[in-house]
Amino acid sequence: MVGIGVDVGGTSTKLGLFTEEGNLLRKWQIPTDQRNRSERVIPNIAASIRTVLKEEGYHLSDVTGVGMGVPGPVQPSGYVEICVNLHWRDRYPARELSELLDGVRVELGNDANVAALGEAWKGGGEGTKNAVLITLGTGVGGGIILDGKIVTGIHGLGGEIGHLHVYEGETEACNCGAYGCLEQVASATGIVRVAKRRLRKDQAPSSMRELGETLSAKDVCELGKAGDRLADEVMEQVGNYLGLAVSLLCLTVDPEIFIIGGGVSKAGAYLVEKIKKHYDRYTAISSNRGQIVLATLGNDAGIYGAVKLVL
Ligand SMILES: [Zn+2]
């Protein structure tokens, strides 16, 4: 028997064929056709699954199930009220896919939560059943896994880590409408904002100045690591906000492990040390608590977590 994991993204959809033990047999991707409110997305996934199963010598009857992550909130019933990136409204994507695959079991989850499940199962948290993933990308996403299950909460707000309020005094609104969210200071765009604000504060020298408008989060991390004092100061501030968020999560759900993923996590041990320093400070109550590690699955976290929904 095999399982299939599907990670539906705004521009491409990643798929993976797995053994029941969770070994990846083959991965591939197809474009996400957004025309006509993405009406072809589910039929295209079904057709692609049929093609690959045939090529690999399997039948639909060999499939335990298909798990699918989608970029939007998913209600426990599988109902998707709105999926902004795909222009979906009032859909039951799992039911639709199951009908196109002769009734094969299909389970659905939010993409960030599903990635957390993947990292907890086979990634940075391998072997743990209780993990929190914080993804530092264009935005800040994440997911909470307790006892091997995704925690979405009653209203789907569980795991919306990017919108934890971590600082006062912000004057620009976050995408969510609030002020002072973690995403505003710890996402790739957030790090650049913090850096630009620091540069405007005074005339202190920094190699960040030479990069002007092209300054990226990667530049800030690399310069900080290389000893640029201002860049390091910016990353210290970012580490402070992340350390606070990790501490709040630790004292709320107390997982075995915190996994840091997303493009910004490429800063590696440098970033982890910065977060840890402040996490330690905010969580002085006990040193017996969840450790911080780096994610290891990269863009494959979604397909691993998706297939785990049906294995
Ligand atoms: Zn927000």
pLDDT in tens, the chain (311 residues): 999 999 998 889 999 999 999 999 999 999 999 898 888 999 999 999 999 999 999 999 999 999 999 988 888 788 888 887 788 888 899 999 999 999 999 999 999 999 999 999 999 999 899 999 999 998 898 999 999 999 988 887 889 999 999 999 999 999 889 999 999 999 999 999 999 999 999 999 999 999 999 999 999 999 999 999 999 999 999 999 999 999 999 999 999 999 999 999 999 999 999 999 999 999 999 999 999 999 999 999 999 999 999 99
Residue 10: the pLDDT is: 84
Q: From 251, 3, 284, 261, select the one nearest 115 (Cα to Cα).
A: 261
How close is the Cα of 279 to the center of ligand 1, in Å? 21
Residue 89: the pLDDT is: 86
How close is the Cα of 86 to the center of ligand 1, in Å? 21
How close is the Cα of 153 to the center of ligand 1, in Å? 18
* Six-digit token string for 151: 């925690």
Residue with tokens 């580490």: 239
How close is the Cα of 130 to the center of ligand 1, in Å? 25
Residue 167: the pLDDT is: 97
How close is the Cα of 159 to the center of ligand 1, in Å? 13
Helix (H, G, I), strand (E, B) or coil at 123: coil
Residue 91: the pLDDT is: 87
Residue 25: the pLDDT is: 97
How close is the Cα of 172 to the center of ligand 1, in Å? 11
Q: Is 0.75 surpassed by the pTM of this model? A: yes
Measured CA to CA, the distance from residue 229 to residue 49 in angstroms comes to: 51
How close is the Cα of 48 to the center of ligand 1, in Å? 36
Residue 59: the pLDDT is: 96
How close is the Cα of 245 to the center of ligand 1, in Å? 13
How close is the Cα of 170 to the center of ligand 1, in Å? 11
How close is the Cα of 76 to the center of ligand 1, in Å? 24
How close is the Cα of 249 to the center of ligand 1, in Å? 17
Q: Evaluate the CA torsion angle 300, 301, 302, 306 in order and state its sign.
A: positive
**Residues 6 or more apart whose Cβ sits within 8 Å of residue 2:** 17, 18, 19, 20, 25, 58, 62, 63, 64
How close is the Cα of 176 to the center of ligand 1, in Å? 4
Buried b or exposed e, range 152-175, using 16+ CB within 10 angstroms: beeebebbbbbbbbbeeebeeebe
How close is the Cα of 213 to the center of ligand 1, in Å? 24
CA atoms within 13 A on the CB side of 25: 17
